[in-house]
Amino acid sequence: MVVSASLFINDPLELAEILGISATPLETVHKIYPFRVSRYYLDLARQHGAPLLKQIVPDLLEVQENETPIDPLAEEVLSPTPCLIHKYPDRAVLLVSRECATYCRFCTRKRKVGTEKMHMEENHFLEALSYLRATPAIRDVLISGGDPLLLSDERLDYILKSVRAISSVKTIRLGTRIPCTLPMRVTEHLVAVLSKHHPLYVNLHFNHPAEITPEAEAACSLLANAGIPLGCQTVLLKGVNDSVEVLRQLFYRLLAARVKPYYLFQADLTRGTAHFRTTIDTGMNIMRQLQGNMSGMALPTYALDTPGGGGKIPLYPSYLQELGSQCLFHTYRGQTGKYPNTTWPVE
């Protein structure tokens, strides 16, 4: 499939006209943070209202908050070469695309995604490959961007083949929001290309049950039928999905589409996204209500990517207290009990 320009709206004036809203604030924001939406996602958002519209319509609040850092996860500091982020011992993120099918207003890489600030020259890709070759401790490469699936099938094939050729790299993960924002991009030809490079995992990004349309399900089916394990990284967003019922439905529908909910992220402290942030208490309360009441397969790990590049940490409500040689536990139903914190026979 050729990703043609007619699939998208890039002009905030056109958006203002379609939605019947004032263009001025949209243009003010657009000067700093790029705007784009696929016609497919905009149609869906118009049917479902606020929870989807909030994710795509530029908001003046984006340019009014200047206290938080532009790069809270210190990704630039952790980049040994411009297109590679190496934060953990055994895995690294390889940025291969500057663009996305839709620019999410809450994006953590808002500082550069979709702009000239995101450098994607061929020599950067080659430098990243050299670094991976020279760093055999990296066994898991996450291909990200921007959205890698906006690249041509041929380019993806070349990228995957180049990474696969590094013998220390055992698994490849690809992160994409395309099955949510432009599901028709997932074609038979694309999945045939992807499946040449197994073991390949694909992590998707859905935030609301209304995003799981028949088209999105068809895209997930094509990927899953090609033997690609699918995960989902959801961001907890105020006014979008910060409720037990919305997330319960989202996780059940993902599971039915053969997508394992992998992470539920607490919002990052990225400049221009503060209005999307919930408290950690909100997330903990939601997880507490889902735990035990939903299939464990449907439950993601609620996680915080710690500011400063410290890495992700799970945010678990506590079910256990240590009392000397006993552990006191609380079940999901609120009952309590004890479990010995000892072994047998006593040494």
In whole angstroms, how close is the CB of 345 to ligand SF4 at the nearest point? 54
Does the footprint of ligand SF4 cover residue 111 (CB under 6 A)? no
Phi, psi of 253 (to 5 degrees): -70, -35
93 binds, among ligand PLP, ligand SF4, none (CB under 5 to 8 A by kind): ligand PLP
Does the footprint of ligand PLP cover residue 87 (CB under 6 A)? yes
**CB nearer to ligand SF4: pick between 142 and 290:** 142
In whole angstroms, how close is the CB of 82 to ligand SF4 at the nearest point? 16
Q: Which of 53, 83, 100, 142 binds ligand SF4 (CB under 6 A)?
A: 100
CA-closest candidate to residue 94, choices 148, 55, 154: 148
In whole angstroms, how close is the CB of 270 to ligand SF4 at the nearest point? 10
Query: How many chain residues interact with ligand SF4 (CB under 6 A)?
Result: 10
Binding mask 236-275 for ligand PLP (x = CB under 6 A): ----------------------------------------
Does the footprint of ligand SF4 cover residue 151 (CB under 6 A)? no
One-letter-per-residue 3-state SS of the chain: CCCCHHHEECCHHHHHHHHCCCHHHHHHHHCCCCCCEEHHHHHHHHHHCHHHHHHHCCCCHHHHCCCCCCCCCCCCCCCCECCEECCCCCEEEEECCCCCCCCCCCCCCCCCCCCCCCCCCHHHHHHHHHHHHHCCCCCEEEEECCCHHHCCHHHHHHHHHHHHCCCCCCEEEEECCHHHHCHHHCCHHHHHHHHHHCCEEEEECCCCHHHCCHHHHHHHHHHHHCCCCEEEEEECCCCCCCCHHHHHHHHHHHHHCCEEEEEEECCCCCCCCHHHCCCHHHHHHHHHHHECCECHHHCCEEEEEECCCCEEEECCCCCEEEECCEEEEECCCCCEEEEECCCCCCC
Q: Are 97 and 120 in contact (CB under 8 A)?
A: yes
Binding mask 192-231 for ligand SF4 (x = CB under 6 A): -------------x--------------------------
Q: Which of 9, 53, 85, 159 binds ligand PLP (CB under 6 A)?
A: 85
Stretches 99-107, 122-130, 299-307, 312-320: which one binds ligand SF4 (CB under 6 A)?
A: 99-107
**CB nearer to ligand PLP: pick between 16 and 200:** 200
103 binds, among ligand SF4, ligand PLP, none (CB under 5 to 8 A by kind): ligand SF4
Token output for 46? 């118009």
Does the footprint of ligand PLP cover residue 107 (CB under 6 A)? no
Binding mask 307-336 for ligand PLP (x = CB under 6 A): -----x------------------------
Which residues contact ligand PLP by CB under 6 A? 85, 87-88, 91, 93, 142, 312
Interacting residue ranges for ligand SF4, rule: CB under 6 A? 100, 103-104, 107, 109, 113, 146-147, 177, 205
